[in-house]
Structure 1
Amino acid sequence: MRSKTIYLAATSVCLLTGTQLSAATDWQYSLHAGAASLPRYSGSNERMTAPVLGANIVSPWGIFLDTDTGLGWGYEDDTLSFSAYVGASDGRKDRKKSGHQGSDRLKGMGTIKSRPQFGISASYTLGAAILGATLEHALEEDDKKDSGKAFTSLELSIGTHLYDGEYGTVDASLNSRFGDRNYVQTWYGVTPGQAARSRFRAYDAKGGMVSRGLSLDWSVPLGEHTTFSTLLDVQYLSGDAGKSPIVERRVQTSVMGVLNYTF
């Protein structure tokens, strides 16, 4: 997986930014660049340092183009935000490439290819709490391949603002991720064919809860258009995902620092 923990958290930040800007009366543009330290794949005990680069364009009508999520439309008022988008799903390689992609431990598991993906994300502010949900569905890549079936995931979250003052803002959220059978089998299962080619025993994973965790985001303004954000994300792999033979460590921790510029 494209190190799901931290990239989903980063994507959530970008989606919130996109929906906030959708209320503007002018075109808005933003760039972000930074680095992340995270597991090589979901369940790995190996770590990697990877660049985090992206851009976002939002029109006055709420249509946005985001390098993390894709092309979509967003809306926000005082209590509700909503976005729908189409983009590309995550992928995973079974060998190391370019210094920060894939893991040799997965040799023989095959590549999980990226494919078209549809998503909807919504949040609702209820007092001091922010309730959120993100549903994503990736299309079938090849039903004859071990990892080519369509899959669906759902993330639920509840967050709050912990601090807003001279030193920026601190936000926290608790989240849980669920997947259908194809989702859990694709990322954590081992088919008989994969077992014959790899070091892992066959493992038939069922749908259900995939992970639950905590995210902390600290954003510090550096100027009128520039902020620096630090994100800590901790996830605990649950259910059949946590019992998978490819999982070496259930607790997955990721850290990211990103410089954001909006104009």
Structure 2
Amino acid sequence: MRRLRRRGTLHLFPLALLCGAAAPVAAQPVDPALASAAPGEGVLTLGAGAAFGPRYSGSDKRAGSAALLFDYASPGGFFAGTARGIGYGNQHGMWRYSAALGYRPGRKDSDQNGLTGATGSAYLRGMGEVKGSAVALLGVGLAPADWVALALQAELPLSQRDNGSVLRFSFSTPLYRGQDDTLTFGLTASFGDGKYMRTYYGVSESQSAASGFAAYRPKAGLFEHRLELGWRHKFNAEWAFNVSAGVRQLTSDAGKSPIVQRKTAPVGSLFVTYTY
């Protein structure tokens, strides 16, 4: 537990957006520092907070949501949580690896309002519902030095396979490390296969007839860049405050989609966590 805390364990930029109504269409890579607990020690982290982002990828409307955090890492490498799903992760020298079962949220073509916030968008009326998918998350990370971490994650659908697959490459570095505060910068590039691009950014002939959007068939390729800054402040050994702020930029065929109202969208979150 001490080792994980020194590393500034919970970088909540991806986490917050998975937990709330402002969730992106697909999961984000997890901080490699969360791959496993220290030898002989399990780590449990609980938290609560809020997140905001676009109502769907490409929307010009913002949505905020309440969000809860749960994350457990066992000494043997097993982990389970709201951000990482359920799986196994470990490290060998500078290399880290993990395999997990997770969930990719779906998308509604109507405004939905619930206890955790707003989801869906009436702007997409006629596009139909994109159902959520159970996904396999396969990741490998490399930390050649204390000031840099690289990660590659594949997100493969196990259900709703026509929703497609995603490959993400991420880079992160601490801009500042103090006794109680850590400031981190992260960059993620996301690539989607043809099925993924057609599901989330395409418009089929039948969807065009029902929605009024022009038919559009995007190709596989890079579809998003994401920049984020995260600040973690430790009140003591157990309690911490986590804030993230960033921007998502749709690119290439995704950015040209007729359902995209805004290519660039701010995202953010804040969480209070308790670790023991």
Structure 1 residue 4: deviation in Å?
A: 5.4
1:28 to 18, 43, 50: 43
Query: Does structure 2 retain, via aligned residues, the 8 Å contact 1:171–1:218?
Result: yes
Match of 1:39 in 2: 54
2:77 to 45, 51, 62: 62
Query: Does structure 2 retain, via aligned residues, the 8 Å contact 1:151–1:183?
Result: yes
Query: Does structure 2 retain, via aligned residues, the 8 Å contact 1:6–1:256?
Result: no
Match of 2:15 in 1: none
- The answer on 1:153 being equivalent to 2:166 is yes
User: Residues 77 and 260 of structure 1: is their aligned pair in 2 closer, same or farther, counting only changes over 3 Å?
Assistant: farther
List gaps (5 residues or longer) in structure 1. 142-147
CA RMSD between the two structures: 2.1
- The answer on 1:138 being equivalent to 2:153 is no
- The answer on 1:108 being equivalent to 2:126 is yes
2:141 to 103, 106, 123: 123
> Counterpart of 2:133 in structure 1: which amino acid?
R
SS of structure 1 residue aligned to 2:105: coil
2:246 to 214, 223, 233: 233
User: Residues 3 and 137 of structure 1: is their aligned pair in 2 closer, same or farther, counting only changes over 3 Å?
Assistant: farther
TM-score, normalising length from structure 2?
0.85
Aligned pairs for 1:122-201 within 5 A = 122-127=140-145, 128-141=147-160, 149-166=162-179, 168-201=181-214
Distance 1:194 1:57 in 2: 42
Distance 2:266 2:27 in 1: 13
Distance 1:75 1:104 in 2: 43
Distance 2:92 2:25 in 1: 27
Aligned length: 253
User: Residues 84 and 64 of structure 1: is their aligned pair in 2 closer, same or farther, counting only changes over 3 Å?
Assistant: same
Match of 2:229 in 1: 216
Deviations 1:67-109 (A, max 9, x none): 2332100113552222110122221111111251111111111
Distance 2:118 2:72 in 1: 28
Distance 2:25 2:123 in 1: 21
Match of 2:103 in 1: 88
TM-score, normalising length from structure 1?
0.89
Query: Does structure 2 retain, via aligned residues, the 8 Å contact 1:45–1:248?
Result: yes
